Structures are given as C-alpha cells and as structure tokens.
A and B are shown apart, each in its own frame.
Chain A
Amino acid sequence: MTGEDPGPLIRLFGLTGGRARPQGETFDLVAIVSTAAGSHEFAELLPEHRAVLALCRRPTPVADVAAHLRLPLNITRVILADLRREGLVTISRPRPAAQTIDERIYREVLHGLRSL
C-alpha cells in the first residue's frame, strides 16, 4: 500500500476522488452495513461498489467490508458513504456501548468466548 509502486495509491485516489473523509453522518469502524433492497442491478458501478453490495446482502461490519475489499478502512468508509448517499446501502447509527451492549449480550459474549 505504501511501497514504491504508486499504482495502488492512484487506484485509491480514483475510488474516492481523492477524498479522505466519508460524506454525511459519521459511522463507526464496526457499524453494520446492509445492502438496500433492489440495489443489485447497477452494472455501471465500480467493481468495488458491486463487491460491497454483494457482500452486504448479509449485514456486515465496516471493518469486514474493508478486509474483504483489501482496502484501508478510511478508503472503505468513503466508498460506503457514497453508496449510502445513493441509497444503495444502509449503515447503522453509532450508539454508545451502554445502549447497545446489554446484560444478555455480555452473557452471550462470555459464553461464546468460553466455548472457543
């Protein structure tokens, strides 16, 4: 990504139009991305965009989308924000831990860790 070959950087620039920041409401590295219904028939989309739409038919955290695309997280977020603006994906809103992680979730996590 940061080697001598400028190719990847140029590609990243093309994907984001040189923007370093996602547009619109901010979202977390582990916000859940879901492909909006009926948004799979856009042949004109970039391959990366199509890959996101295919992947996020199952709700997928942002970090996993980045891993899947093999792109840096912040580049991925620019792409996701663009797709959101087009109404092609939805991204869950950031919420404080106290609201999202209740006791039942803690118990599930504990149980899951112990049975690893």
Chain B
Amino acid sequence: MGYAASEPGTTAVAPALAIKILIAGGFGVGKTTMVGTISEIRPLHTEELLSERGVGVDDLSGVESKTTTTVALDFGRITIRDGLWLYLFGTPGQDRFWFMWDELALGALGAVVLADTRRLQDCFPAVDYFEQRGIPFVVGVNCFDGARRYDPAKVRRALGLSGTTPIVLCDVRRRESVKEVLTTLVTYAVKGLQPAERA
C-alpha cells in the first residue's frame, strides 16, 4: 500500500506522512488558542493518564496520593493534501512533564515558542529546550489587545536568542497572523537543511 506511481523519474514513493509542530510557552500565553485558530478540527484535548513510573523523578509528594496523574495535551490538524498532514501539539506547560516533550519533539519539524512580553521569563525553559536539542524554533510574541508593540530586538536580547532565530509579533486569535508564524517557522526550518549563513 501507499506506493502510488507518480511522475516518471521520481522515486515514486509517497507514503502518508504526518508532521509535528510544537507550540510551547508559559501557562496561559495562548498555545491552545493558537492551535484552535488554525486547526481544521476543533482542537482535541486529551488527558493522558500517566503511571508513576512514567512520571519518573517528578515530585508528586504532597500533591495527591494516587498512582496515576494526568497531563492535558491539545492538538490540532491541518491537511496539506491527501496523505500529508501537519499536527500542532500544544506542549504541556508544567516542567514536570519534560519527558513528554521528548516524545513530542522527536521527529518534529520545529516549534513555536509563544511569549508574553509581560512575563518573558516564562518561555526561557522552552527556548533552552529547543536550543539544546537543535530543534528549529521561532518566537511568536503574542500581542494582546492594547498591549504596546514590542521591539523584537529587545525581546531577542532578553531571551538571549541567536541572531538568526526569527521573532514574529503575532495575535494568536487571528488566522492570518498564525499562518505567518507557521510559514516563518517552515521557511526557517528549511534553511537548516542547507546550512547557509545569512545576515
């Protein structure tokens, strides 16, 4: 299955492919809203049941004395064509679910780190995470109503970002804006395929 003949001269193999993009950032920064704005399906919210073993070194003491815990995971979908889908996964905000990020990030095209300029520090962990693993990411500065426009250069300095990491001012409630963030990410990620320095 899945081996449809296409143009002669090509490898003629087009298996179905689903690509992951991660949406990260601090709690309440608009991750779920962003997924919902662009997803063709209502964002799916699943609560994952995790065994204690899965939680690893997490400190559950004093939280609740139960052997499973749950982590909320939101995801949405964009169909590019038959057999090619883009999945947007809102990453769990809590640090204790880092192990889950590892799975989400495996094979991901890249990530959007959403930032709220009133609490930029909330997205430090996500920036560190993607930098350390060499996963391409863009920073989307979510500009809420009435929030003054921020100078991307200041955000770059505050987050200690390299000169090439794109920073996009966005409004995650607006479809065009979310499209711009995602196309910026894909454009940036594809540059990483052929390493070329740009100013």
**Residues of A at under 8 Å CB distance from B?**
1-2, 12, 20-21, 28-32, 34, 59, 61, 63-64, 66-67, 71-75, 92, 94-97, 100-101, 103, 105-114, 116
Docked complex: B70-88 residues within 8 A CB-CB of A = 70, 73, 75, 77-81, 83-87
Check: B31 CB closer than 8 A to any chain A CB.
no
With a cutoff of 8 Å between Cβ atoms, the chain A residues found around residue B16 in the complex are: 32, 59, 61, 92
B103 to chain A, nearest CB (A): 7
Question: Are A112 and B81 within 8 A (Cβ)?
Answer: yes
How many A-B residue pairs have C-beta atoms within 8 angstroms? Tell me.
125
A56 to B44, CA, bound (A): 19
**Residues of B at under 8 Å CB distance from A?**
1-2, 15-20, 38, 41, 44, 46-51, 53-54, 68, 70, 73, 75, 77-81, 83-87, 89, 103-104, 106-109, 175, 179, 182-183, 186-187, 189-190, 193
With a cutoff of 8 Å between Cβ atoms, the chain B residues found around residue A59 in the complex are: 1-2, 15-16, 83
**When A1-B70, A97-B109, A113-B78 are in contact, do A72 and B47 touch as well, CB less than 8 Å?**
yes
With a cutoff of 8 Å between Cβ atoms, the chain A residues found around residue B15 in the complex are: 32, 59, 92
Question: Are B109 and A116 within 8 A (Cβ)?
Answer: no
A109: contacting residue among B50, B80, B107, CB under 8 A: B80
**When A63-B75, A113-B78, A113-B182 are in contact, do A73 and B46 touch as well, CB less than 8 Å?**
yes
